[in-house]
């Protein structure tokens, strides 16, 4: 789960990381009020979306007058911002963050990530702030500073000081940078984060170290013990289909293909996608209906898959253990009748009550294409997809 910049800064501040004064606004009028309350003579108006590279896309505007603050907020709120890191149609801006524009002398990069290969937290830093870490690695690999944290003891003060010295800071600056690095690590660890990025981390003229931007991502599986973080979830930043799936406890990820997939079990879903690719097609989604594939859940899964206009055929692949094939078959029939499916449907059932399930499919009177093996089902789904596309083209 991702959160907004202002939310990440609120968390970081709780762990002793210094941030510039700021507050969130949902309307242009509220943005002006926030600026007057913050004081100062220059403000940054920042679009709040779950994406980096906002500045390059026009999502961060510097203002020196209240009228400019109002105009900047008006230009951003209610629009969609397209960056190099998000979807082609961008993400909606529903709020802006008004922050006192603090002059600074140097920019740095500081990040924390869960390195699954090393099974450790990896700290990444660089003198080149304001750039994406991928760009830094390409342009100057030697400028990337990395430290691996031993989980039994956590990030130690001497490690934080070493990072600070390698950033080229003096003694006074190192002390403050050490506090910042250790505080950021504690925020990462204690909030069950998967990624924390402060870019840029800046050095001000009076030797303060400030987090000028912040991104955080969290482990969804740990949110049950972090209700304060779970409450920060903004569903508007998700693919609407993924948000709908989450409401029904379905695991869904939208892809760019043309064959919709409804499968029980994550491993089987991955295998189904692989077989579709092997047969020459492309999956439109990953969808795991889970162990309790009741007729209602299957019907919901159908509506979700068919909401994608790119879908030209649907493959249902169920291997019933905890599930029952007759339940799934009932769900398939119910879904087809409710949604008036207009694309070919391939169904492969195996496992518990498979014969009863196949009988329900046969006697439904619905033109469903049956298959007994995964390979056969994938091949039929790809062929049906091609035939449907050809018929659409001929009708135009």
> Could you tell me which residues are annotated as the binding site for ATP?
46, 99, 102, 107
Taking each helix axis from N to C end, the angle separating 171-190 and 5-14, rounded to the nearest 10 degrees, works out to 110
Return d(Cα 210, Cα 102) in angstroms, integer: 9
Alpha-carbon torsion, ordered 269, 274, 275, 276, to 10 deg: 90
**Catalytic site residues?**
109, 197
Alpha-carbon torsion, ordered 19, 23, 28, 30, to 10 deg: -150
Residue 259 in contact with residue 346, Cβ under 8 Å? no
How far is Cα of residue 8 from the mean position of the Cα atoms in its chain?
15
Q: Both tokens of residue 296?
A: 């209602």
Beta-bridge mates of residue 195: 113, 217
Angle at 11 between CA 9 and CA 14, to 5 degrees: 110
The three-state secondary structure class of 113 is: strand
In three state form, how does the secondary structure of 122-162 look? EEEEECCCCCCHHHHHHHCHHHEEEEEECCCCCCCHHHHHH
Which residue ranges make up the annotated binding site?
A: 46, 99, 102, 107, 199, 213, 264
Taking each helix axis from N to C end, the angle separating 240-247 and 295-306, rounded to the nearest 10 degrees, works out to 180
Which residue ranges make up the annotated binding site for substrate?
A: 264
Handedness of CA 352, 306, 384, 272 (dihedral sign): negative
Q: How many residues does the chain have?
A: 396
């Amino acid at each position: 789960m991702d959160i907004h910049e202002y939310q990440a800064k609120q968390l970081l501040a709780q762990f002793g990381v210094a941030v510039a004064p700021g507050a969130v606004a949902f309307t242009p009028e509220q943005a002006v009020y926030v600026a007057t309350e913050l004081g100062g003579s220059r403000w940054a108006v920042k679009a709040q979306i779950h994406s980096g590279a906002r500045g390059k896309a026009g999502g961060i505007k510097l203002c020196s007058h209240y009228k400019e603050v109002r105009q900047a907020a008006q230009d951003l709120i209610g629009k969609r911002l397209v960056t190099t890191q998000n979807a082609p149609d961008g993400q909606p801006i529903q709020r802006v963050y008004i922050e006192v524009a603090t002059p600074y002398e140097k920019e740095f990069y500081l990040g924390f990530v869960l390195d699954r290969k090393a099974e450790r937290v990896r700290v990444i830093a660089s003198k080149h702030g304001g750039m994406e870490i991928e760009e830094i690695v390409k342009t100057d690999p030697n400028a990337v500073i990395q430290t691996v944290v031993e989980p039994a003891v956590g990030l130690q003060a001497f490690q934080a000081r070493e990072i600070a010295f390698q950033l080229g800071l003096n003694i006074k600056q190192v002390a403050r940078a050490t506090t910042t690095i250790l505080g950021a690590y504690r925020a990462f660890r204690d909030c069950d984060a998967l990624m924390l990025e402060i870019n840029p981390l800046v050095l001000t003229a009076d030797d303060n170290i400030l987090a000028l931007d912040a991104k955080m991502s969290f482990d969804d599986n740990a949110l049950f013990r972090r209700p304060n973080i779970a409450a920060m979830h903004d569903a508007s930043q998700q693919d609407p289909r993924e948000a709908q799936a989450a409401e029904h406890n379905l695991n869904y990820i939208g892809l760019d293909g043309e064959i919709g997939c409804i499968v029980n079990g994550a491993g089987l879903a991955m295998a189904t996608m692989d077989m579709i690719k092997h047969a020459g097609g492309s999956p439109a989604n990953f969808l795991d209906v889970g162990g309790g594939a009741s007729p209602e859940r299957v019907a919901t899964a159908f509506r979700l898959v068919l909401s994608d206009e790119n879908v030209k055929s649907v493959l249902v692949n169920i291997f019933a253990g905890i599930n029952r094939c007759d339940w799934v078959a009932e769900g398939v029939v119910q879904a087809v009748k409710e949604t008036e499916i207009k694309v070919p449907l391939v169904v492969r059932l195996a496992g518990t009550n498979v014969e009863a399930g196949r009988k329900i499919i046969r006697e439904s009177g619905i033109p469903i294409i049956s298959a007994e093996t995964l390979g056969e089902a994938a091949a039929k789904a790809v062929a049906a997809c091609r035939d449907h596309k050809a018929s659409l083209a001929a009708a135009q």
